[in-house]
Amino acid sequence: MESDIMDIHQLIQSPESEILEFKKTFGKEAIISLTAFANSRGGRVVVGVDSNGKVSGIRIGAETIQQYLNEIKLATYPQILPHVDLYEIDGKAVLVFEVREYPIKPIACKNRYYRRVKNSNHLLSLDEIVDLQQQSLNISFDAYPLKDNLSSLDESLMNRFIDRVNSRGRINLLDDLLMNLTKLKMIQNGSPTLAAMLLFGNHGYSIHIGRFKAADTIIDDLLIKEPLPEALEEALIFIKKHINLSYEFDGSLQRTERWQYPIEVIREVLLNSVVHRDYKSTSDIVIKIFDDRIVFANPGRLYGHLTIEDLQRDDYVSSLRNRLLAEAFYLSGDIEKYGTGFVRIRRMLKDHGGVSIQLSEMGDFFRVELLRSSVGSDGEKRTHLPEDLPVKLHEKLPVKLSTLQQTIVSNMSVNPDITYDRLAALTGKSREAIRSNINQLKQKAIIERIGSDKSGRWRVLISQKVANP
């Protein structure tokens, strides 16, 4: 018992986090936190302690704990059955509810879904709910069978893929093309999967790549709509066309090429963009080449429990949104090993020197930025910072925007196709509140609508509104 008291004292001295929440009283918010923990990595809700760790205590009767457990069961679906412990601290009763990550997700609280993000509960969007279901059932989105027939696939591309797989030696495939693709689950019940269409067909997804002189000045651009292996090569060729190449001599007659950015790093980031993007979204993968950086933005935030902080460690465990694509590129030798991409990127950048990497999530997009380093007049090494980050642009505006309006503008900057409903889900605001704030932004000439309400896109005019420094 003494060790238990020591443990509870240590617990309440900890800050709220992705696995810990304090509540002065038991109620709806406590149940929401338990739901969010169950949809994430599990966690504990301590009732009778405020957010600063001060013990206020709660009244406990003969049926209090059972009543709380019944309220949790009635409010959640599938029902949460947390473990609960009662402690007494300085004569005050404290309850600790603990729930583990549930194997079947998502768990709902009063028909709403939450997950834990750092020290707060995040209301899930429809896409995030679907992602949780897929993870729970071990379903890969790219395994979805399409209504197209097999004639919509390019046979020459399929044969080239099989030859490349066999040359790598990671699996031995036979001469029967249909059998091979069925074995790899690219074909199910005689129909091509989304993965097969992405690799060998006319899939309709795009990579939009451009060379910019400034955030609002484009020099050259290209829209790529090829099968993924060809699209990757076209994108790489375009990037190489717009970055510098120099030569180094080691004293011999041989010269060594030195690209402005390591080509293998660019290839790895491109591959990551097409393998891990969210194909439920129709938005393009967007690549912007500036004088001092390359910005890659692909639809879909990090999948599963993976975080930006995880990717910065060498022991991170990758979650696969598109298993068939990942396996296809692994078998063809493009992916060296699952879950090691950013480890190898960091090592290659260290060997190359002069280039750093920044990872971020913005709206519905995951961003990778390769930044060139320079040396200032004081001899200090500096990294060029991205000047076009939408979330920072509002700081330079001659008009003041609310937090909600800043969020709307940020999301429109990276996803011009974003809808009212998606903005409502991301912000937790009503559709009417989103509409009202968008109208205000239009009146301030911060944004405009290009085209019709159904098929048009948003255009952010921030760059035209930046105040003089």
CA 395 to CA 195: how far, in whole Å?
42
Dihedral of CA 155/235/217/359: which sign?
A: positive
- pTM score: 0.66
* CA distance linking residue 95 with residue 124, whole number of Å: 28
User: Domains in the chain, please, with CATH?
Assistant: 2-124 (3.30.950.30), 207-316+334-386 (3.30.565.60), 395-465 (1.10.10.10)
Q: Kindly tell me the sign of the dihedral angle through the C-alpha atoms of 431, 434, 439, 442.
A: negative
Residue 287: the pLDDT is 96
pLDDT in tens, the chain (469 residues): 444 555 888 999 999 999 999 999 999 999 999 999 999 999 999 999 998 889 999 999 999 999 999 999 999 999 999 999 999 999 999 999 999 999 889 999 999 999 998 899 999 988 888 888 888 877 888 999 998 889 999 999 999 999 999 998 888 888 899 999 999 999 998 999 999 999 999 999 999 999 998 888 899 999 999 999 999 999 999 999 999 888 766 655 566 788 999 999 999 999 999 999 999 888 999 999 999 999 999 999 998 888 899 898 888 888 888 999 999 999 999 988 777 889 999 999 999 999 999 999 988 899 999 999 754 434 444 444 343 444 344 444 556 788 888 888 877 877 777 888 888 877 778 888 999 999 988 888 888 888 777 777 888 875 433 333 3
Classified as helix, coil or strand, 208 is strand
If one counts every other C-beta atom within 10 angstroms of the C-beta of residue 380, the result is 8
Beta bridge partners of 367: 297, 360
8 Å CB contact between 358 and 371 = yes
- Measured from the Cβ of residue 423, the count of other Cβ atoms closer than 10 Å reads 23
- The tokens of 152 are what? 């919509």
pLDDT score, position 394: 41
Helix, strand, coil fractions of the chain, as percent rounded to 5: 40, 25, 35
**H-helix or E-strand containing 192?**
strand 191-192
H or E segment at 69? helix 64-75
Chain-centroid distance of CA 238 in Å reads: 25
Looking at 140-240, which runs of residues are DSSP E strands? 187-188, 191-192, 207-214, 217-224
Q: At what angle do helices 341-352 and 263-276 cross, to 10 degrees?
A: 160
Spatial neighbors of 459 by CB under 8 A, at least 6 apart, are 416, 447, 448, 449, 450
Angstrom CA distances, 24 to 21, 48, 94, 172, 283, stand at 10, 4, 9, 62, 44
